[in-house]
Structure 1
Amino acid sequence: MPTDLPPLGEPGKVLEKLRTCAIAQDVEGTAKLYADDVVHDFPFAMPGVPPHLVGRDAVMEFTTSNWNGPIKYERYVTIAAYLTDDPNTIIVHQDVYGSSSTTGELCLPGLIVFTTENGQIKRFTEFVDALAVYKAMGQIKPSDVHQEQEERIRSLTGLS
Structure 2
Amino acid sequence: MAADSSVRSPRELIERLFGELPARDPDAFVALLAPDAVFEIPFAIPGHPTHLEGREAIREHLAQRWSGLSGIEVHAIHPQVYETTDPEVLLVENEVDMTIPGSGRARRRTSVNVVRVRDGQVVLFRDYMDTARFARLAAD
Identify unmatched segments of 5+ residues in structure 1.
Answer: 1-8, 142-160
Quote the offset at 1:102 in angstroms. Answer: 7.8
Give percent identity, aligned residues only.
Answer: 28
For residues 1-160 of structure 1, the aligned pairs below 5 Å read 10-69=9-68, 70=70, 71-78=72-79, 80-100=80-100, 105=105, 107-138=108-139
Paired residues, number: 130
Higher relative contact order (CA 8 A, sep 6+): 2
Q: Higher strand proportion, which one?
A: 2
Q: TM-score, normalised by structure 2?
A: 0.78
Q: TM-score, normalised by structure 1?
A: 0.69
Q: 2: CA distance between counterparts of 1:63 and 1:103? A: 25
Q: 2: CA distance between counterparts of 1:83 and 1:102? A: 37
Quote the offset at 1:34 in angstroms. Answer: 1.1
Contact map agreement 2:11 2:81 (CA 8 A) in 1: no
- State the Cα RMSD in Å: 2.3
Which structure has the greater CA radius of gyration? 1
Q: Higher helix proportion, which one?
A: 1
Identify unmatched segments of 5+ residues in structure 2.
Answer: 1-7
Amino acid at match of 1:85: T
3-state DSSP class of the match of 2:124? strand
